[in-house]
A and B are shown apart, each in its own frame.
Chain A
Amino acid sequence: MNPLELTLGIMTAVGGFVDISQLVFSGQAGSMFGYSLIWAFGISTIGIMVYGEMCGRVAAVAHQPLFSLMRHRLGLKLGLVTLIASFLSTLVTTAAEIGGLGMILNHLTGASYLLMCVVSTLVLMASMWILPFKWIERTYGLLGLFMIVFIVALVVIHPPWSKIASGFVPSVPHGLSAKQLFNYSYFVVAIFSAVMFPYEAFFYSSGGIEEQWGPKDLLTNRVTSIVGMGLGSLLSIAILALAALLFAPANVAPQIPGSVALQTAIPLGKLGLVMALLGMLFAVAGAAVETCMANAYSVSQFFGWEWGRHKKPWEAPRFTIAWIIVMLLALAIVMTGVEVMSLVGYAVVFSIVILPLSYLPLMLLANDKNYMRGYANKWLAKILGWLFFVIVTIAAIAAIPLYVLTAGGQG
Chain B
Amino acid sequence: MLRRPLLLLLFLTGCSKGPEADLEYISSARSLAAEWALVNEQASEGHLTSAYVKTMRQSVREQLKTNAKSLTQPQSDYGSEIAAVLREPDDADPAALRAHASKLKQIEDHLESA
Note whether A and B contact each other (Cβ less than 8 A): yes
Seen from chain A, the residues whose Cβ lies within 8 Å of a Cβ on chain B are 103, 106-110, 177, 179-180, 250-256, 258-259, 261-262, 265-266, 269-270, 272-274, 277, 339, 407, 410-411
A270 touches B47 (CB 8 A): yes
Other than the given A110-B51, A252-B38, A411-B27, 11 more pairs (CB < 8 A) read A107-B52, A110-B50, A250-B34, A251-B98, A254-B35, A255-B32, A256-B63, A259-B38, A261-B52, A270-B49, A274-B49
B105 touches A273 (CB 8 A): no
Tell me, yes or no, whether B73 is within 8 Å of chain A by CB.
no
Nearest CB on B from A137, distance (A): 29
Nearest CB on B from A119, distance (A): 15
Interface of B is mostly: helix
Alpha-carbon gap, A265 to B51, bound state (A): 14
Total number of residue pairs linking A and B with CB closer than 8 Å: 87
**Closest Cβ neighbor of B105 among chain A residues:** A251
- What is the size category of the interface that chain B forms with chain A? 20 to 34
B42 touches A106 (CB 8 A): no
Report chain B residues within 8 Å CB of A254.
Answer: 31, 35
Nearest CB on A from B72, distance (A): 13
B54 touches A273 (CB 8 A): no
Report chain B residues within 8 Å CB of A251.
Answer: 30-31, 34, 98, 101-102, 105
A interface footprint on B64-98 (CB within 8 Å = 1, 0 otherwise): 00100000000000000000000000000000001
Alpha-carbon gap, A253 to B108, bound state (A): 14
Nearest CB on B from A23, distance (A): 15
A258 touches B55 (CB 8 A): yes
B27 interface neighbour in A177, A253, A259, A277, Cβ under 8 Å: A253
Nearest CB on B from A377, distance (A): 43
B55 touches A255 (CB 8 A): no
A interface footprint on B29-58 (CB within 8 Å = 1, 0 otherwise): 011101101110010001111111011100
A250 touches B37 (CB 8 A): yes
Given A107-B52, A110-B55, verify A269-B32 contact (CB < 8 Å). Answer: no
Report chain A residues within 8 Å CB of B48.
Answer: 265, 270, 273
Given A179-B112, A251-B105, A261-B52, verify A256-B46 contact (CB < 8 Å). Answer: no
B47 touches A252 (CB 8 A): no
| CB-based closest 3 A-B pairs | A110-B51, A410-B24, A251-B34
Given A251-B105, A259-B35, verify A269-B52 contact (CB < 8 Å). Answer: no
Nearest CB on B from A11, distance (A): 27
B105 touches A258 (CB 8 A): no
Nearest CB on A from B107, distance (A): 13
Nearest CB on A from B54, distance (A): 6
**Closest Cβ neighbor of A180 among chain B residues:** B112
Alpha-carbon gap, A251 to B60, bound state (A): 15
Residue from B28, B47, B63, B105 with most neighbouring chain A CB atoms (10 Å): B47
Alpha-carbon gap, A180 to B111, bound state (A): 13
Nearest CB on B from A292, distance (A): 26
A273 interface neighbour in B38, B49, B98, B102, Cβ under 8 Å: B49
**Closest Cβ neighbor of A340 among chain B residues:** B59
Nearest CB on A from B103, distance (A): 11
Residue from A270, A277, A410, A411 with most neighbouring chain B CB atoms (10 Å): A411
A256 touches B47 (CB 8 A): no
A108 interface neighbour in B30, B51, B102, B105, Cβ under 8 Å: B51
Report chain A residues within 8 Å CB of B23.
Answer: 411
Alpha-carbon gap, A276 to B8, bound state (A): 48
Report chain A residues within 8 Å CB of B60.
Answer: 255-256
Report chain A residues within 8 Å CB of B105.
Answer: 251
Pairs across A and B, CB under 8 Å, 12 listed: A107-B55, A107-B56, A110-B51, A251-B102, A252-B34, A255-B35, A258-B52, A266-B42, A266-B47, A270-B49, A273-B49, A273-B52
Nearest CB on A from B41, distance (A): 9
